[in-house]
Amino acid sequence: MYAGDPLFDDFQAEQLHEEGNTDGGHYIVRNHEIDIELPSHFEGGELSSPSLSNMKCNTWRGELRNWGIFEPDPSCWKEYHTELVPCGKDMADRLFHEYRIDWHNDRVEFFIDEDLKHTTVNSLKGGSIPDIAGHFTFGVWFPSSPLSFNRG
């Protein structure tokens, strides 16, 4: 929420951190989100080159981090975590696949077909694990370049 929006004052009352600047505007983010993005790009690749061999496992509480310290430094913390994870199987094999997210107080576990693929945990300095319940939303998302599938 940007300054001037009625929710901005509510977010300030919750003592959420204000971000931005005078030129670009001040804003507060409260984005409690857990998601799987599939297809996703190759490691180091572009969103315009999607792949069904990887998925992104994301957890968000906001946009804050200590920007001067980079992962994997143990003192690095941030309110969001995104991890590119290999699926480990052909997701275009025309079979049914189960995607599951288990949300715990201190971690989020991501599964494909009962196989644990990734776990995100809070760090000692701060965390990205949401602590506010939200709505379940299912969306079909494809990056800017469509994948070609053999529909034969």
Bigger pLDDT: 3 vs 116: 116
Write the pLDDT tens digit of every residue in 10-24.
Answer: 877 876 677 777 787
Cα 53 from Cα 89, distance rounded (Å)? 7
Please report which helix (H) or strand (E) contains residue 7, including its range.
helix 6-13
In this prediction the pTM is 0.74
Cα 57 from Cα 1, distance rounded (Å)? 25
* Low-confidence winner among 18-32, 75-89, 133-147 (lowest mean pLDDT): 133-147
**Residues near 114 by beta carbon (within 8 Å), at least 6 away in sequence:** 98, 100
Task: Please say if the pLDDT value at position 78 is more than 50.
Answer: yes
What confidence category does residue 152 fall into, taking pLDDT thresholds of 50, 70 and 90? Answer: very low
Whole-number Cα distances in Å, 64 to 41, 50, 77, 106, 122: 24, 28, 9, 18, 14
Write the pLDDT tens digit of every residue in 33-77.
Answer: 899 988 776 655 566 667 788 888 999 887 777 777 777 777 777
**Residues near 130 by beta carbon (within 8 Å), at least 6 away in sequence:** 32, 33, 34, 59, 60, 61, 103
Write the pLDDT tens digit of every residue in 112-131.
Answer: 999 999 999 986 666 788 88
Strand partners for 122: none
Task: Please say if the pLDDT value at position 109 is more than 60.
Answer: yes
Q: Of the spans 13-17, 30-34, 103-107, which averages the highest pLDDT?
A: 103-107
The predicted pLDDT at position 118 comes to 96
The predicted pLDDT at position 132 comes to 79
Q: List the alpha helices (DSSP H) in 76-130.
A: none
**Cis peptide bond N-terminal to 74, omega within 30:** no
DSSP state of 2: B
